[in-house]
Amino acid sequence: MPVDQVQLSKFLSFVLRHKPDEIGLTLSADGWANVDELVEKANAAGTAFDRDDLLRVVATSDKKRFSLSPDGDSIRAAQGHSVRVELGLAPQAPPSILYHGTATRFVQAILSEGLKPQARQQVHLSSDEAIAERVGQRHGKPHIFKVDAGGMHAKGFKFFRADNGVWLTDRVPPEFLA
């Protein structure tokens, strides 16, 4: 029976971002896991797939959530971790405006407190307003914040660009939101 790629992607996100210990997997300090060990431990824990299934999910993922090492032996989530990892990304100057999609029910709290990483390590921002809207729709009626990333950067805030193009920063104070 063919592997459901959406379900496998969700499983990989869960294990590589949040709960590697759920299948007895240990990530390196920079978030990498050995592909063969991941497949073996996932299968032993009851989630059946093989290396080819995993590579197909990585290659066809529209969100590019996963990165493979150059030799193809290791995999990691590109961003979105709740477990402590150091992705080793160098700070970069962001575009002047970035976007953050959320649900309308969170707007007042965000305007009061700013954007915080919540359960993740960093706040996720997009250079594409349409992508931010899709993210916001996952949580209810969407609201898109414009983030004055250029202004933040000028004030010393650091920005990082994940392998999949998502912009990361530690927080966004309310005065940089529109």
CATH of the domain at 121: 3.20.170.30
Question: Is 82 part of any domain?
Answer: no
Does residue 138 lie in a domain region?
yes
The predicted-structure confidence for 20-73, as pLDDT tens digits, reads as follows 999 999 999 999 999 999 999 999 999 999 999 999 999 988 778 899 999 999
| CA gap 129, 8 in Å, rounded | 27
Span 41-51, pLDDT tens digits: 999 999 999 99
As a whole number of angstroms, the distance between CA 33 and CA 68 comes to: 10
Q: What distance, in Å, lies between the first and last C-alpha atoms of the chain? A: 49
What's the total number of domains in the chain?
2
Q: Write out the residue range of the structural domain in which residue 45 sits.
A: 5-76
pTM, to two decimals: 0.76
Q: Convert the pLDDT of each residue in 75-109 to its tens digit.
A: 999 888 788 888 889 999 999 999 999 999 999 99
140-167: average pLDDT: 95
* 102 & 71 share domain: no
Per residue in 11-24, pLDDT tens? 999 999 999 999 99
- On whether residue 121 sits in a domain, the answer given is yes
For the purposes of burial, counting CB atoms within 10 Å of the CB of 29, is it exposed (0-12), middle (13-18) or buried (19 or more)? exposed
